[in-house]
């Protein structure tokens, strides 16, 4: 694996690869890697000549400074894991490399109503920060295929929007399924911050999703959402939301016709650690 820290060096190297008509797959991450991230690398390896990954803990997407400070960093182990997974290139930029002019040159992406609901509502500015960094990375890497995890469902919808906004619709977005621990907890870098007791409780998020999956019926979905929230409250979570939305565009669904493809989305705090998960229902 070749490690690049400078945009200019990576740019030059990738230019040469593109001239050889190599197909490039890209897996952006914030590090603290786990098997979920590696499943994206594995998917990329199947369909591309070169797999590029990046590790960058993007300050502009953290609405909570303490969450940013506490974000786990395990860079040595990450490099080893990427190497073992057969990743070809790792881009490991500094904050200055991505934001040479500081954060004041913030772009404003027109993301529409998704910025007013769910994580858009509960994490103000988060998706603008995601768009800033992904825009920058896509400009550098210009991948043919971009690999994202369903774990971050809203982020997938936002990035699909972003590539239209920035005129990069030729990039294929490949969404990979959420990898879970054996008890069902979605793998996440933030799980590293859970103590033993919190880790035991954390799986309740998955149980709340299963509860909705197994009990939802046509009609008003308010009661079932409230019941799922109660399950989380009783386990000691502080819930931001339990919501049901259209799986394609995230319009919130209050009345389900039993046909529409929907996604159940949950975000909840266990003490100071915020966990998210989702489940698509057909
Ligand atoms: P992150 O490092 O959390 O920004 O995640 C980098 C990429 O890995 C994103 O596209 C995530 O959606 C994806 N990812 C994170 N957790 C999982 C998981 N449990 N299963 C599959 N993909 C994941």
Give pLDDT tens digits for 244-273: 999 999 999 999 999 999 999 999 999 999
- Could you identify the atom of ligand 1 that is nearest to the CA of residue 180? 19
Confidence of residue 105 (pLDDT cuts 50, 70, 90): low
User: Measured in angstroms, how far is the CA atom of residue 136 from the centroid of ligand 1?
Assistant: 19
Q: What is the pTM of this model?
A: 0.97
Mean pLDDT for the chain overall = 97
Q: What's the whole-number mean pLDDT along residues 57-70? A: 95
pLDDT at 141: 97
Taking CA 106 as the corner, what is the angle to CA 100 and CA 108, rounded to the nearest 5 degrees?
A: 150
**Please, which pLDDT band fits residue 45 given cuts at 50, 70 and 90?**
very high
Domain boundaries, the chain: 2-176, 189-275
pLDDT tops 60 at residue 219 = yes
What is the tens place of the pLDDT at every residue in 174-205? 999 999 999 999 999 999 999 999 999 999 99
Residue 102: pLDDT band by 50, 70, 90 thresholds? confident
Fold for domain 189-275? 3.30.1300
Q: Taking residues 128-141, report their average pLDDT.
A: 97
Q: Please tell me the predicted confidence (pLDDT) of residue 73.
A: 97
The ligand 1 atom nearest the CA atom of 155: 12
Gap from CA of 43 to ligand 1 centroid (Å): 13
Residue 241 has pLDDT above 80, yes or no: yes
Check if 96 is active-site: no
Please give the pLDDT value at position 106: 63
Mean pLDDT, rounded, for 137-152: 98
219-220 and 255-256: which strand pairing?
Answer: antiparallel
Percent of the chain with pLDDT over 90: 97
Which is nearest to 249 in space by CA: 110, 114, 124? 114
Nearest Cα to 2, choosing from 96, 87, 85, 97? 87
One of 34, 37, 126, 136 is an active-site residue; which one? 37
Residues with CB under 6 A from ligand 1: 29-30, 36-37, 39-40, 148-149, 151-152, 176, 178-179, 186-189
Q: Does residue 107 register a pLDDT over 90?
A: no
Give residue 103's pLDDT.
77
Does the pLDDT value for residue 150 go beyond 80? yes
Among 29, 37, 77, the mutation site with the greatest number of ligand 1 atoms within 8 A of its Cβ is 37
Ligand 1 centroid–CA 71 distance in Å is: 14
CATH classification of 2-176 is 3.40.50.300, yes or no? no
Q: Whose CA is nearest to atom 18 of ligand 1?
A: 36
Distance 82 CA to ligand 1 centre (A): 14
| Distance from Cα 42 to the centre of ligand 1, integer Å | 13
Give the number of the atom of ligand 1 that is nearest the alpha carbon of residue 149. Answer: 12
Query: What is the mean pLDDT of the segment spanning 153-175?
Result: 98
């Amino acid at each position: 694996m070749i490690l690049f820290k400078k945009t200019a060096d990576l740019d030059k190297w990738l230019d040469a690869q593109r001239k050889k008509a190599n197909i490039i797959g890209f897996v952006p991450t914030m590090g603290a890697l786990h098997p979920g991230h590696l499943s994206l690398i594995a998917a990329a390896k199947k369909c591309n000549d070169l797999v590029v990954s990046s590790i960058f803990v993007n300050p502009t997407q953290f609405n909570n400074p303490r969450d940013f400070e506490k974000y786990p960093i395990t860079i040595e182990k990450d490099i080893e894991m990427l190497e073992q997974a057969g990743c070809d290139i790792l881009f490991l930029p500094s904050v200055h490399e991505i934001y040479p002019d500081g954060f004041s040159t913030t772009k404003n992406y027109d993301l529409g109503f998704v910025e007013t609901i769910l994580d858009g509502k509960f994490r103000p500015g988060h998706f603008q920060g995601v768009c800033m960094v992904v825009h920058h990375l896509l400009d550098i890497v210009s991948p043919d295929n971009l690999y994202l995890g369903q774990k971050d469902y809203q982020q997938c919808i936002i990035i699909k929007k972003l590539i239209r906004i920035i005129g990069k619709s030729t990039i294929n977005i490949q969404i990979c399924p959420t990898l879970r621990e054996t008890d069902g907890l979605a793998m996440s870098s933030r799980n590293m911050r859970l103590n033993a007791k919190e880790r035991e409780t954390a799986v309740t998020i998955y149980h709340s999703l299963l509860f909705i999956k197994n009990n939802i019926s046509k009609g008003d979905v308010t009661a079932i959402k409230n019941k799922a929230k109660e399950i989380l409250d009783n386990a000691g979570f502080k819930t931001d939301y339990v919501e049901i939305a259209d799986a394609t565009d995230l319009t919130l669904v209050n009345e389900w016709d039993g046909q529409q493809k929907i996604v159940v989305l949950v975000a909840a705090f266990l003490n100071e650690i915020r966990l998210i998960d989702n489940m698509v229902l057909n």
